[in-house]
């Protein structure tokens, strides 16, 4: 039983139907993989979503589309003929009145689907179809009403003049020629490649993060081991330094202990000197920063003024030895991290 006739179609409805048809037809993935009923159901859903008139069913859209397609193709053929013979410098607004007049003289009535044609006129389907019609090709009734599918033999009348789905909706190049768009298989292949590349980038990013985490963990472990070894060495040195030479039984043992103490003292002096250099460099950097910000001249180094008095050198040497002994004592009085005892 045929469906009940719906309300009349107005020009805004024709315009929205053309927009919905183009939108669903441009779906490269599903355009050739859907049946006619499914295609027109999607067109009707999109039409009802944006149209302000009454809701339409898929069959209503399909039947009315046949009229829209027929008359827009005829008007496109007339317009293309006028466009090819138009004088130089003319624009679209100059051709439309002539196309309306030519359509009226040829068909005996006004062109009623101009708003739909304005949507469809730049579609390659209409360009190809109107050019074929203008050169004596297929009639509008022979063109497919819906998107052709493998189960819809709509192109049996004249396959040479009907644009196939694989060449539908090409894009215009810079030279004005129409380029073939990517097909279903190439589009799916590109989507798979994009998915594979995104997955590969994610894996590489995760590997980089894991490598960075492992590197930081290894560095932290090495730092802990270095601190543990340093604490163990310090404890061993303290044990050697606490022994008395007089308590050893022979001269060889006493000589060995004496040499060990000298080695330890030499190492400690090197450490103290290194700390002094670092402290001096740090203090110098702070003074330079303060002087540059306040635009004041740097303070006079007190060591230079003290070196100009030779009579104070002996007292300075004595004070230097006292400070050195105090710093050596501070090195051994540093408290060892309790967490390192377990590692040691």
- Better pLDDT: 28 or 135: 28
What is the pLDDT, as a whole number, of residue 157? 38
Encode pLDDT of 159-185 as tens digits: 333 333 333 344 444 444 445 555 666
Identify the weakest region by mean pLDDT among 1-10, 204-213, 235-244, 276-285: 1-10
Please, which pLDDT band fits residue 103 given cuts at 50, 70 and 90? very high
DSSP-assigned states of every residue in 221-274: HHHHHHHHHHHHHHHHHHHHHTS-GGGSSSHHHHHHHHHHHHHHHHHHHHHHHH
pTM of the model: 0.42
- Given a contact cutoff of 8 angstroms between Cβ atoms, the answer to whether 119 and 18 are in contact is yes
Encode pLDDT of 207-266 as tens digits: 888 888 889 898 889 989 998 998 988 888 888 888 888 888 888 988 898 898 899 999
Tell me which residue of 170, 84, 82, 93 sits closest to 126, measured CA to CA.
Answer: 170
Identify the weakest region by mean pLDDT among 6-10, 20-24, 52-56, 186-190: 186-190
* Tokens standing for residue 222: 């090495």
Q: Is 117 helix (H, G, I), strand (E, B) or coil?
A: helix
Domains of the chain: which residue ranges?
11-149+156-172, 182-286+328-344
Tell me which residue of 145, 125, 118, 138 sits closest to 63, measured CA to CA.
Answer: 145
- Given a contact cutoff of 8 angstroms between Cβ atoms, the answer to whether 286 and 273 are in contact is no
Taking all residues of the chain, what is their mean pLDDT, rounded to a whole number?
A: 73
Encode pLDDT of 290-314 as tens digits: 777 665 555 555 554 544 554 555 5
Using CA atoms of 82, 83, 88, 89 in order, give the dihedral in degrees to the nearest 10. 110
């Amino acid at each position: 039983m045929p469906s009940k006739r719906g309300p009349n179609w107005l020009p805004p409805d024709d315009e929205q139907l053309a927009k919905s048809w183009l939108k669903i037809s441009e779906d490269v993935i599903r355009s050739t993989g859907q049946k006619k009923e499914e295609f027109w159901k999607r067109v009707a859903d999109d039409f009802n979503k944006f149209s302000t008139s009454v809701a339409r069913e898929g069959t209503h859209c399909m039947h009315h589309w046949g009229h829209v397609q027929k008359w827009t193709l005829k008007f496109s053929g007339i317009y293309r003929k006028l466009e090819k013979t138009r004088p130089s410098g003319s624009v679209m607004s100059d051709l439309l009145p002539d196309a309306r007049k030519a359509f009226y003289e040829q068909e005996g009535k006004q062109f009623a689907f101009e708003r739909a044609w304005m949507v469809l006129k730049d579609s390659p389907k209409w360009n190809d179809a109107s050019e074929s019609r203008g050169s004596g090709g297929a009639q509008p009734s022979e063109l497919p009403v819906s998107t052709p599918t493998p189960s819809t033999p709509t192109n049996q009348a004249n396959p040479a003049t009907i644009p196939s789905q694989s060449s539908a909706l090409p894009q215009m190049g810079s030279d004005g020629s129409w380029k073939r768009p990517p097909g279903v298989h190439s589009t799916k292949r590109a989507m798979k490649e994009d998915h594979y590349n995104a997955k590969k980038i994610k894996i590489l990013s995760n590997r980089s993060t894991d490598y960075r985490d492992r590197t930081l963990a290894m560095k932290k472990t090495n730092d802990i081991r270095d601190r543990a070894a340093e604490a163990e060495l310090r404890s061993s040195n303290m044990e050697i330094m606490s022994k008395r030479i007089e308590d050893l039984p022979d001269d060889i043992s006493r000589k060995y202990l004496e040499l060990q103490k000298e080695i330890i003292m030499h190492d400690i002096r090197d450490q103290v000197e290194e700390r002094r250099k670092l402290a001096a460099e740090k203090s110098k950097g702070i003074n330079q920063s303060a002087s540059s910000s306040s635009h004041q001249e740097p303070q006079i180094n007190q060591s230079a003024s003290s070196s100009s008095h030779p009579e104070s050198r002996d007292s300075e040497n004595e004070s230097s030895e006292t400070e050195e002994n105090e710093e050596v004592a501070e090195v051994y009085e540093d408290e060892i991290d309790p967490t390192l005892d377990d590692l040691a």
